[in-house]
Structure 1
Amino acid sequence: MIDETLLNLTASPSSQPATLLSAVARGTHLVDQFPAHAEIFSDIERPLVQTVILASVLLVLILSCFIGNLFVILAIIMERDLRGRPQYYLIFSLAVADLLVGMIVTPLGAWFTVTGTWNLGVVVCDFWISVDVLVCTASILHLVAIALDRYWSITDICYVQNRTPKRITLMLAVIWFTSLLISLAPFAGWKDEGFSDRVLKSHVCLISQQISYQVFSTATAFYIPLIAIICVYWKIMRAAKKRFKRERDRRTVIRPPPDAIDEKKAMMPKKSKKCPLPPAVVISDIQANGGTGGKTNSIKNPPRHNESSSSASEEERTMTQTNHAPGDVTTQETKIDEENGRSKPGIVKRRRRTKESNEMKRERKAWRTLAIITGTFVACWTPFFLVSIYRPICGCQISPVLEQVTLWLGYLNSALNPIIYTVFSQDFRAAFKRIIKRMCLIHDY
């Protein structure tokens, strides 16, 4: 008997992979093969000072997530210009998902992190995990939808005009249905056998560790969206760079006729037969849904009297006057003398040099915007999903600190989204200022 025990203890290392593979084949709970892993959060003791500091940091993150996304939702609801533009439906739905992260997911996660144990039972654990997967997956998929919306706005000249609420609503339905499918899959039986014991005995609330579910959920919720976001933003920058180059190469100065010109008519963009109204400069669409809200290299349009909105939208306020001939974009630069209606060549040349300099700044700003968007997403979510897929495959014990840091990095993304996708936008900045002023007036009253 002793010999058999010694034989088992000194077995070759190849026996462990065989055990792991057999567990995968049976679809059993991998944590049972490595009991130490199920106790990664147990018996964690921290000094009181560390606990207070940790709780304070998490509280700040939770409040930032809640307040930031709440402001975005209020801005879109209260501001008619934002509410009437379909592309902001995506931002609104993203803010709802991130708000739920701040309201439900992070408070329960903070309790688990600070106490180091889960004593709320199986039902609450199931609820927390399902909501966590639902809203975090929805948040990530919204970022893919926003990237696609920007790409189509840049590559398809008619997309902005055909971007109807119905189409955006269909995109949102696909996002939330996919997220719901991933979050509810464990309730349909895609859950490891040791889930309840892990919650009740080890006091650990951990998502289903069945490897097939982990591969499905991580691929659908992160790895496929990650590849999509990187590819789409890479294509956006290629299209943007080509457009910048085309603007520089094909800019011409058009002199007006000697007779007086109606300034308003001269500044109105020509209408395309295919699209009733040309969209804004394509680069502004990198920034219109979020990112930087810098002004485009443009000619400002006078307000149209038949608009239902009290003020023109950001896309309509700054539009470049272009001729939409196939394969050609010619920007008209003419400085009109308000007194006699004639052009001033000297002013035009100076403006042209200034515009060329501004173009380089816009190009750098566009690159910086896309780098921030992509870099933030990758930095926040990649560590968590690497750990998520590594844990069931390896069956190794993961450091509790690493586990918690990667978890909260993912939650941090929901607090940063309102900053990345709205605060850099001029429309949202103005809306936030108006909301704060109203709140101050109510408080003073």
Structure 2
Amino acid sequence: LVKSVFLGFLSLLTVIMNILVLYAVKKERTLHTVGNLYIVSLSVADLIVGATVMPLNLVYLLEDEWRLGRVVCQFWLIMDYVASTASIFSLFILCLDRYRSVHEPLRYLKYRTRGRASIMISGAWLLSMTWIIPILGWRSFVQVDLKPEMENKCDTDFRFVTWFKVLTSVFNFYLPSLLMLWFYSRIYMAVRQNFRERERIINPTDSKEKNSDFDQYTLDQHYDSTDTVETNAPREPKSGKDSHSSHSVLRMTKRLRTTFTQSLNLSPSPSNAVTLKQTWQKFCAQSRQRIQSLQVHKEHKAAKQLGCIIAGFMMCWIPYFIVFMVMAFCQTCVHHDLHMFTIWLGYINSTLNPFIYPLCNENFKRVFKTILHINL
């Protein structure tokens, strides 16, 4: 009884929290970003797990046999395999998006649109839905040995087909997981490198008089880039402080550019020129520091959120896929209770994800507090 109440509570909590995530993204404009489209896809997959997969598995677990008929059995299997795979693929394309944003920001900015993100998400779900073919049509292609002891069980027709189970586990879990770990390691190293670069700019060791022309060119590039992002690119979520800071830098840059140009035209004397040159160089350094700090802070938040999601995903799903591979070669080598435990541990990942978003993202945290009327 305690086990059934606990698992039922997990299922309900999964549904409530993922609905809350979807409502928060819809309600709050600061969350209307390209990156959060992947979070929405992940949340939809987790919602399906909580609303359909977990309850039916709980019934099966309590009854110890399947009494709901073959049609409901196939529906449950489809929801289970499709939603779980869509969750993995959604996390994979989220990781790919973060990787490209960090490693080739200017080039990727042109392609990082809501339309292209929607195409990527649709592709992930279509690939996940290919599970429908073997679940419904395996008997149409392969002769299946219907054993009497399996009449009251709900399982796939390919449960004893070793090569198919190994192949699908490699392409659905092991390969995406290894790529995600590689992507994240590259993201982490890039963010660390950017942080060191920021420290070098804040504490320069080079002479202040060196490369004044380069200083002006650098600031011009930051000015043009910042203006483009604000007007054309999809908005990224930011806190009020970050938003105010970035706009302040832009306004201050515009004012000083105008003042500096006018002063050069009106004050040609050598003493004024030296003073203006020093002022310009000082402002160049300060502007680069502010812009670099904002960018590094934003990259750090995105990397932190992604790292938490990947860590939760790995901890929850690795035990299941290890057991899955063992059972592909030896059905009797894994105890039924251990198998069920790894299955539910994988489901719990759908419960954890909605808690990870606000813990690792200030915008989600603020919106959750507003919706739940929490004042801390």
Normalization by structure 1: what TM-score? 0.62
Indicate how the Cα distance of structure 1 residues 224 and 112 shifts in structure 2: closer, same or farther if over 3 A, else same. same
Counterpart in 1 of 2:73? Answer: 125
In the alignment, the residues of structure 2 paired with residue 434 and residue 298 of structure 1 have an alpha-carbon distance, to the nearest angstrom, of 19
Indicate how the Cα distance of structure 1 residues 359 and 172 shifts in structure 2: closer, same or farther if over 3 A, else same. closer
Q: How far did residue 248 of structure 1 move?
A: 1.3
Greater fraction helix: 2
1:165 paired with 2:114, answer yes
1:108 paired with 2:56, answer yes
1:74 paired with 2:23, answer yes
In the alignment, the residues of structure 1 paired with residue 185 and residue 146 of structure 2 have an alpha-carbon distance, to the nearest angstrom, of 41
1:407 paired with 2:358, answer no
Indicate how the Cα distance of structure 1 residues 180 and 403 shifts in structure 2: closer, same or farther if over 3 A, else same. same
Counterpart in 1 of 2:228? Answer: 276
Could you say what secondary structure the match of 2:223 adopts?
A: coil
Q: How far did residue 395 of structure 1 move?
A: 3.0
Indicate how the Cα distance of structure 1 residues 165 and 119 shifts in structure 2: closer, same or farther if over 3 A, else same. same
Q: How far did residue 403 of structure 1 move?
A: 0.9
RMSD value over aligned CA atoms? 4.0
Indicate how the Cα distance of structure 1 residues 359 and 302 shifts in structure 2: closer, same or farther if over 3 A, else same. closer
Counterpart in 1 of 2:98? Answer: 150
Q: How far did residue 246 of structure 1 move?
A: 1.3
In the alignment, the residues of structure 2 paired with residue 241 and residue 297 of structure 1 have an alpha-carbon distance, to the nearest angstrom, of 20
1:377 paired with 2:313, answer yes
Indicate how the Cα distance of structure 1 residues 411 and 98 shifts in structure 2: closer, same or farther if over 3 A, else same. same
Q: How far did residue 144 of structure 1 move?
A: 0.6
In the alignment, the residues of structure 1 paired with residue 118 and residue 296 of structure 2 have an alpha-carbon distance, to the nearest angstrom, of 36
Counterpart in 2 of 1:248? Answer: 199
Q: How many residues align?
A: 318
Counterpart in 1 of 2:36? Answer: 88
**Any conservation in 1 of the 2:191–2:296 contact (CA below 8 Å)?**
no
Counterpart pick for 2:169 among 215, 218, 232: 218
Q: How far did residue 272 of structure 1 move?
A: 3.1
Give 1:32-431 correspondences, 5 Å limit: 52-83=1-32, 85-158=33-106, 159-160=108-109, 162-189=111-138, 193-194=144-145, 197-200=148-151, 203-207=152-156, 208-209=158-159, 210-251=161-202, 270-272=223-225, 276-277=228-229, 300-302=245-247, 371-431=307-367
Counterpart in 1 of 2:264? Answer: none
Indicate how the Cα distance of structure 1 residues 180 and 199 shifts in structure 2: closer, same or farther if over 3 A, else same. same
Q: How far did residue 79 of structure 1 move?
A: 2.1
Q: How far did residue 217 of structure 1 move?
A: 2.1
Deviates more, 1:185-194 or 1:223-232: 185-194
In the alignment, the residues of structure 2 paired with residue 104 and residue 111 of structure 1 have an alpha-carbon distance, to the nearest angstrom, of 11
Deviations along 1:122-180, whole A, 9 cap, x unmatched? 22111111110000100111111111111111111223454111110111111011100
* Higher relative contact order (CA closer than 8 Å, sequence separation 6+): 2
Deviations along 1:224-275, whole A, 9 cap, x unmatched? 11111111101111111111111112336899xxxxxxxxxx9x951139x8
The amino acid across from 1:118 in the alignment is W
**Any conservation in 2 of the 1:101–1:414 contact (CA below 8 Å)?**
yes
Q: How far did residue 422 of structure 1 move?
A: 4.2
Deviations along 1:57-94, whole A, 9 cap, x unmatched? 101211121011100111122223323x2222111111
Q: How far did residue 401 of structure 1 move?
A: 1.5
Indicate how the Cα distance of structure 1 residues 370 and 109 shifts in structure 2: closer, same or farther if over 3 A, else same. same
Deviations along 1:367-402, whole A, 9 cap, x unmatched? 865553332211100111111121121232421220
Indicate how the Cα distance of structure 1 residues 303 and 70 shifts in structure 2: closer, same or farther if over 3 A, else same. farther
Indicate how the Cα distance of structure 1 residues 180 and 196 shifts in structure 2: closer, same or farther if over 3 A, else same. farther
In the alignment, the residues of structure 2 paired with residue 417 and residue 176 of structure 1 have an alpha-carbon distance, to the nearest angstrom, of 19
Indicate how the Cα distance of structure 1 residues 303 and 250 shifts in structure 2: closer, same or farther if over 3 A, else same. closer
Indicate how the Cα distance of structure 1 residues 56 and 174 shifts in structure 2: closer, same or farther if over 3 A, else same. same
In the alignment, the residues of structure 1 paired with residue 145 and residue 248 of structure 2 have an alpha-carbon distance, to the nearest angstrom, of 65
In the alignment, the residues of structure 2 paired with residue 361 and residue 93 of structure 1 have an alpha-carbon distance, to the nearest angstrom, of 25
In the alignment, the residues of structure 1 paired with residue 359 and residue 29 of structure 2 have an alpha-carbon distance, to the nearest angstrom, of 18
The amino acid across from 1:301 in the alignment is S
For structure 2, the 5+ residue unaligned runs are: 209-218, 251-278
Counterpart in 1 of 2:257? Answer: none
In the alignment, the residues of structure 2 paired with residue 424 and residue 300 of structure 1 have an alpha-carbon distance, to the nearest angstrom, of 21
**Any conservation in 1 of the 2:10–2:348 contact (CA below 8 Å)?**
yes
The amino acid across from 1:398 in the alignment is V
Indicate how the Cα distance of structure 1 residues 93 and 435 shifts in structure 2: closer, same or farther if over 3 A, else same. same
Indicate how the Cα distance of structure 1 residues 191 and 229 shifts in structure 2: closer, same or farther if over 3 A, else same. farther
Q: How far did residue 121 of structure 1 move?
A: 2.1
Indicate how the Cα distance of structure 1 residues 360 and 99 shifts in structure 2: closer, same or farther if over 3 A, else same. closer
**Any conservation in 2 of the 1:244–1:363 contact (CA below 8 Å)?**
no
Could you say what secondary structure the match of 2:105 adopts?
A: coil
In the alignment, the residues of structure 2 paired with residue 80 and residue 367 of structure 1 have an alpha-carbon distance, to the nearest angstrom, of 22
1:436 paired with 2:372, answer yes
The amino acid across from 1:65 in the alignment is T
**Any conservation in 2 of the 1:72–1:422 contact (CA below 8 Å)?**
no
Deviations along 1:185-219, whole A, 9 cap, x unmatched? 2323267724674542xx22223312232123212
